[in-house]
């Protein structure tokens, strides 16, 4: 009879109907007053309904009936902690941990309550110390105390990194912050700085589901995926309201490469998480894993979609980088899909016709479209450079000339266009260099010869020549070199000059100065 009532109480507790749960457990206790589990479960129901005194009373009775059951001491500790009786809660958690030494949740709860006790002791000592009571009027100091009340486990960190707090703890004799806890149990002595997470008292069913999950995690780590799935399914069967179980199961399918099943479980995890108002980070994790599935199957559009959904919940740095990488890949795919040499040729011919008519803006539009359709054709860059030159957009023309030369280093027109552009910009030194390169490719090129002659004849103003030259860091470096200055002073001696020109390094520097228009050889 009592087992039937317990099951009804468990169902009501799971559905959040705490009043009915208390009623069923009470009926069960009347039928079986020595059943410690019923007192434990009713303690949970009272705790969840906010009646911590009754939760403590039932936990005390549970411990009396079975003093060697760790869960009874854990229930008692939770109620004491909720009542701010932290020292007693510490003792109860310690007793529970002795009976169940491998329980990580109990260890964490013990650390948290120790920190709360330390923070509480600090505030009490402040209130009773006449010398320090006045510090609470300092808004900055008061905010630190309030922060510690809300985040007690950060007391160690704050005492180490904040000079005023360190001095305060020393003055109050709280350097060690034992606060009644043993040295090995005290959070401050351990130096741990975990951020407390919201927690609640778990029902027996929830604890059973968590044990199933832990078994699944252990199997997962051993890569025994079939067994892991069995345990995760068991956890979901017991408690279908925990989105973590669906996430755990999805991780197995991800490892197995069964990506559609993984995505389906991620979507289910989000659905359950929304219903239970789960942390945004967990929702983000589910979306991110679904995004990874789509990325694995090269479905970049859906991968980007789910990564963006994840980032709308929580902006994790690794997901930001993944989304940026996918976005870049999608743009590259779009660019490559747009390439069509046939359509590019059509646009180039349209550009040529417009150029011949003197419609420079129209030609520019067609050449730009031709480049988008075939960005590896150097001749289109050369044509567009000519168009930019006509429009007096010399920096843009120069950029296209450089791209043309990069794609086709043996294409003479790229150098001729570049040289003409540089002449228009009155950079005669760089123009001479470009014309020389054209003559290397085609020694009898009349345009290059005439251009080179024009550069020498146009570059006649010494002041402007020197001003332009000194704006070139390489020229400035050569002229500031004491050894080069000595060599330049010997330029009038033909024998000395011939000797210096035998040195390739010196010869290249002299040519640089010649190109800059600073010196000439006659």
Q: Which of the listed residues 417, 442, 460 is the one where a domain comes to its end?
A: 460
Residue 29 lies in a domain: yes
15/145 same-domain check? yes
Host domain of residue 400: 339-460
pTM over the 0.85 mark: no
Residue 221 lies in a domain: no
Are 63 and 50 contacting, i.e. CB atoms less than 8 angstroms apart? no
CATH code for the domain in which residue 510 is found: 1.10.260.100
Residue 233 lies in a domain: no
* pLDDT mean across residues, the chain: 83
CA dist 90 → 113, 131, 168, 202, 212 (Å): 6, 30, 24, 19, 28
Burial 14-23 (b: 16+ CB within 10 A, else e): beeebebbbb
Answer with the residue of higher pLDDT: 507 or 268: 268
* 450: Cβ contacts below 8 Å, ≥ 6 apart: none
pLDDT tens track for 73-128: 999 999 998 898 888 999 999 999 899 887 877 887 888 887 777 766 666 666 66
40/167 same-domain check? yes
488/406 same-domain check? no
pLDDT tens track for 189-213: 333 334 334 445 666 777 888 888 9
Return the pLDDT at 236.
92
Name the band, by pLDDT with cuts 50, 70 and 90, for residue 498: confident
Question: Please, which contacts does 19-27 make with residues 24 or more away whose CB atoms are closer than 8 Å?
Answer: 19/49, 21/45, 22/46, 22/49
143/26 same-domain check? yes
Sign of the dihedral defined by the CA atoms of residues 337, 341, 344, 350, in that order: negative
Residue 215 lies in a domain: no
Say yes or no to pLDDT of 180 above 50. no
130/161 same-domain check? yes
Return the pLDDT at 188.
31
89/24 same-domain check? yes
Residue 232 lies in a domain: no
Q: Give the residue-averaged pLDDT of 21-30.
A: 92
**What's CA 306's distance to the chain center, in Å?**
16
* 464: Cβ contacts below 8 Å, ≥ 6 apart: 426
Return the pLDDT at 419.
94
Are 235 and 217 contacting, i.e. CB atoms less than 8 angstroms apart? no
Return the pLDDT at 181.
36
Say yes or no to pLDDT of 142 above 70. no
Return the pLDDT at 278.
84
Sign of the dihedral defined by the CA atoms of residues 387, 392, 395, 401, in that order: positive
Report how many domains make up the chain: 4
Residue 309 lies in a domain: yes
Cβ neighbour number for residue 269 with a 10 Å cutoff: 27
Return the pLDDT at 105.
79
pLDDT tens track for 453-467: 888 776 555 666 666
Are 359 and 340 contacting, i.e. CB atoms less than 8 angstroms apart? no
* 212: Cβ contacts below 8 Å, ≥ 6 apart: 231, 232, 234, 235, 238
Residue 390 lies in a domain: yes
507/431 same-domain check? no
33/180 same-domain check? yes
349/455 same-domain check? yes
Say yes or no to pLDDT of 486 above 90. no
345/245 same-domain check? no
147/15 same-domain check? yes
Q: Which of the listed residues 158, 189, 220 is the one where a domain comes to its end?
A: 189
Burial 62-99 (b: 16+ CB within 10 A, else e): bbebbeebbbbbbbbbbbbbbeebbbbbbbbbbbbbeb
Altogether, the residues listed in the chain come to a count of: 522
Are 428 and 517 contacting, i.e. CB atoms less than 8 angstroms apart? yes
155/55 same-domain check? yes
E runs forming strands in 115-241: none
CATH code for the domain in which residue 312 is found: 1.25.40.10
Are 113 and 89 contacting, i.e. CB atoms less than 8 angstroms apart? yes
Name the band, by pLDDT with cuts 50, 70 and 90, for residue 306: very high
Q: Which of the listed residues 413, 438, 460 is the one where a domain comes to its end?
A: 460
Poorest-confidence range of 12-16, 217-221, 327-331? 12-16
Residue 250 lies in a domain: yes
Cβ neighbour number for residue 406 with a 10 Å cutoff: 11
Return the pLDDT at 488.
82
């Amino acid at each position: 009879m009592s087992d039937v009532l317990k099951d009804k109480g468990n169902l009501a507790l799971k559905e959040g109907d705490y009043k009915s749960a208390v009623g069923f457990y009470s009926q069960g206790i009347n039928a079986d007053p020595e059943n410690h589990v019923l007192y434990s479960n009713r303690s949970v129901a009272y705790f969840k309904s906010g009646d911590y005194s009754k939760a403590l009373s039932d936990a005390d009775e549970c411990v009396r009936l079975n003093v060697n059951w760790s869960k009874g001491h854990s229930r008692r500790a939770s109620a004491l902690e909720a009542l701010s009786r932290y020292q007693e809660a510490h003792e109860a958690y310690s007793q529970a941990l002795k009976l169940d030494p491998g329980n990580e949740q109990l260890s964490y709860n013990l650390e948290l309550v120790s920190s709360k006790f330390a923070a509480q002791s600090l505030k009490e000592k402040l209130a009773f110390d006449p010398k320090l009571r006045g510090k609470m009027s300092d808004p900055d100091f008061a905010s630190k105390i309030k922060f510690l009340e809300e985040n007690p486990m950060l007391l160690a960190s704050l005492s180490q990194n904040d000079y005023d707090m360190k001095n305060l703890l020393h003055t109050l004799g709280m350097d060690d912050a034992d606060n009644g806890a043993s040295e090995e149990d005290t959070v401050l002595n351990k130096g741990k700085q975990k951020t407390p997470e919201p927690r609640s008292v778990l029902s027996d069913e929830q604890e059973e589901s968590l044990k199933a999950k832990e078994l699944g995690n252990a199997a997962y780590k051993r890569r025994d995926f079939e067994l892991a799935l069995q345990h995760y399914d068991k956890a979901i069967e017991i408690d279908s309201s925990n989105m973590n179980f669906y996430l755990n199961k999805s991780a197995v399918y991800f490892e197995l490469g069964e990506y559609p099943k993984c995505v389906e479980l991620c979507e289910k995890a989000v659905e359950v998480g929304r219903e239970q108002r789960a942390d945004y980070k967990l929702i983000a994790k589910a979306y991110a894993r679904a995004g990874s599935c789509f990325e694995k199957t090269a479905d970049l559009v859906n991968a980007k979609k789910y990564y963006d959904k994840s980032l709308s919940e929580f902006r994790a740095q690794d997901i930001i980088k993944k989304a940026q990488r996918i976005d870049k890949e999608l743009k590259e795919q779009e660019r490559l899909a747009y390439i069509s040499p046939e359509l590019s040729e059509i646009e180039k011919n349209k550009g040529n016709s417009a150029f011949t008519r003197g419609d420079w803006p129209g030609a520019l539009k067609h050449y730009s479209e031709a480049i988008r359709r075939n960005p590896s054709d150097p001749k289109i860059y050369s044509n567009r450079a000519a168009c930019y030159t006509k429009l007096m957009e010399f920096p843009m023309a120069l950029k296209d000339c450089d791209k043309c030369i990069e794609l086709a280093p043996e294409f003479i027109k790229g150098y001729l266009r570049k040289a003409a552009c540089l002449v228009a910009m009155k950079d005669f030194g760089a123009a001479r260099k470009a014309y020389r390169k054209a003559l290397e490719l085609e020694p009898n090129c009349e345009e290059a010869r005439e251009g080179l002659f024009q550069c020498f004849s146009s570059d006649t103003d010494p002041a402007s020549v020197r001003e332009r030259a000194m704006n070139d860091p390489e020229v400035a470096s050569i002229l500031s070199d004491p050894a080069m200055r000595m060599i330049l002073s010997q330029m009038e001696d033909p024998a000395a000059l011939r000797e210096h020109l035998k040195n390739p390094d010196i010869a290249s520097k002299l040519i640089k100065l010649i190109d800059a228009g600073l010196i000439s050889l006659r």
